[in-house]
Structure 1
Amino acid sequence: MTSTKKKILNASVLLFNQNGVDAVRLQQIAEESGISVGNLAYHFKNKDAIVESVYELIFEEFSTVLSTYSISAEMITFDNQLSLYYDFFNKYQFYMADFFKTNNNPTEHQQIWQSYITKMLIQIKSRIDYLVLNQDFKPELTSGLYQQVAENIWINLIFYIQKCRMRGILTNEIQYKYSVWNQFRPYFTDAGLSEFNHVILPIFSY
């Protein structure tokens, strides 16, 4: 990808976040990119082509985030993935609003995104299962409890930044990760809590 194309796509993402996809015009993208509309048209024939390329970036980057998943005895591996989740959902804030547009027939983009977020949920539940197996999590008290915990964590990962934005609250990566870890804490065994206190909690004091 040329540097000009990258500049155009970065400008598009910025404007989409600020105004929503539908409200952004090619002229605005060209101005934000610091190029003429004619130069923009040389690289992308229309706005749909830009949107398609942005979606390709979204799927590529989210696939990379999912690929970092690792079941490990070390909680820090999950914390590292949380950083990537924060970067992704902070960078592409507009996409969640675009994804949830009313549509009785999901678009191809929506269908792809559904498959990705389903995989994301499966990874979270698998991590909880491993924590139980490793005796870092208490045994499940009632059937289905940890599936619900996984879904709550999944929702938080996707919507925390949007929730703060809607309420006019500034947030950062530390607050984002802290909100997720707080959903794990009630279920830690003494061993799990000890690792959390020694490895994860100090991160929040930086």
Structure 2
Amino acid sequence: MPVLTKQRILNASVRLFNKYGIDAVRLQQIAEEIGISVGNLAYHFKTKDAIIESVYEQVLDEFTHIFRQYLQAPELSAFDQQISLYYQFFQNYQFYLAEFFKTNLQQTEQQIQWQRAVNKMLVQLRSWLDFHVQRNIFRPETTRGQYDQVAQSLWMSLVFLPVFYAMRGQLTDERAYKQAVWEHLKPYLTEEGVSEFDLLIMPILA
């Protein structure tokens, strides 16, 4: 089924936003990217702001979709699949983090929504750790708040690893991304957890 023009415009906008940043991209560039006239583009989106708003809606919808994968299955492999979704998300929307860290006197509505989303992500990671402590996959905390710190470390890896590699001039792929995330968790595995990890995750990372 062919991609509708409206979605082609959004896809082209994301590509250009990733490459040049939102502020530098003009409607003419977006139209040229998919081979349509500016008039045709304006039929679907009257202004650049309308495109940006629709892109942000798409971003948050996809982020919400990742949340829905939470604990769909109890095994560690379910989280590995979620890591893949995060990797694809942050690869597809590289411009979004840059927009979030712009210096503004007042936060935009998009920044506020993103802030809520990433806070929800952190809470979910903490809840996931508790779930697997109950499954005897992870050891109980040895110090109070230990898994709060682990959740924060996981969050930072999932969100910022691609940026970290890019700043060092290094390429990364999904396998390296996953390995780095799992390295945060391996020290906390029980014997049962190590067995499940070796059985379900190691073949994926090999």
Return the TM-score normalized by structure 2. 0.95
* Distance across 1 between alignment mates of 2:39 and 2:129: 52
Once residues 177 and 171 of structure 1 are traced to their aligned partners in structure 2, the CA distance between those partners, rounded to angstroms, is: 10
Alignment RMSD: 1.3
Runs of 4+ in structure 1 off by over 2 angstroms are: none
SS in 1 for 2:24: coil
In 2, Cα distance between equivalents of 1:204 and 1:42: 47
Once the two structures are overlaid, the 10-residue window that deviates more, 196-205 or 161-170, is: 161-170
1:25 matched to 2:26? The reply is yes
Contact 1:138 1:187 in 2 (8 A): yes
| Partner residue in 1 for 2:69 | 68
**How far apart, CA to CA, are the structure 2 residues paired with 1:165 and 1:18?**
13
Aligned to 1:41: 42
Residue by residue over 1:180-201, the C-alpha shift from the partner in whole angstroms, topping out at 9 and shown as x without a partner, is: 1110001111110111011101
Are 2:182 and 1:153 aligned?
Answer: no
- Per the alignment, residue 53 of structure 1 pairs with 54
Structure 1, gaps ≥5 residues long = none
Q: Which residue of 1 aligns with 2:90?
A: 89
Residue of structure 2 in register with 1:121 after alignment = 122
SS of the counterpart of 1:23?
A: coil
Sequence identity (%): 54
Q: Aligned with 1:69: secondary structure?
A: coil
Residue identity matched to 1:176:
Y
Specify the code of the residue in structure 2 equivalent to 1:75: L
TM-score (normalizing by structure 1)? 0.95
Number of residue equivalences: 204
Distance 1:16 1:181 in 2: 31
- For the 8 Å contact 1:71–1:127, the answer to whether it is kept is no
Work out whether 1:79 is the aligned partner of 2:75: no
> What code does the residue aligned with 2:4 have?
S
Q: Distance in 2 between matches of 1:185 and 1:39?
A: 53
